Amino acid sequence: MGHDPIRAYDFLLKFLLVGDSDVGKGEILESLQDGASESPYGYNLGE
């Protein structure tokens, strides 16, 4: 009790986030840890 169930995965992915400070790298990591699938922030693809 109090233990997280062991999750079985088909793949293990590792990645490196790089970028200037205050661009949202931490927000991305937090959303991945929380299992969130949608970002509350909008996207701007260089427009």
Tokens of 38: 């949608």
Distance CA 25, CA 41 (A): 13
In the numeric block, which tokens belong to residue 14? 């590792």
Q: Is position 3 within any domain?
A: no
Residue 28: strand, helix, or coil: helix
47 vs 44, more confident: 44
For 25-44, the pLDDT digits (tens) are: 888 888 777 665 565 666 55
Let me know if residue 28 belongs to a domain.
Answer: yes
User: What would the pLDDT profile of 4-26 be if each residue is shown by its tens digit?
Assistant: 667 787 888 888 888 898 888 88
Q: What total of structural domains would you count in the chain?
A: 1
Does 19 fall in a domain? yes
**Paired tokens of 19:** 């970028």
Residue 18 structural domain: 9-35
The answer to whether residue 21 sits within a structural domain is yes
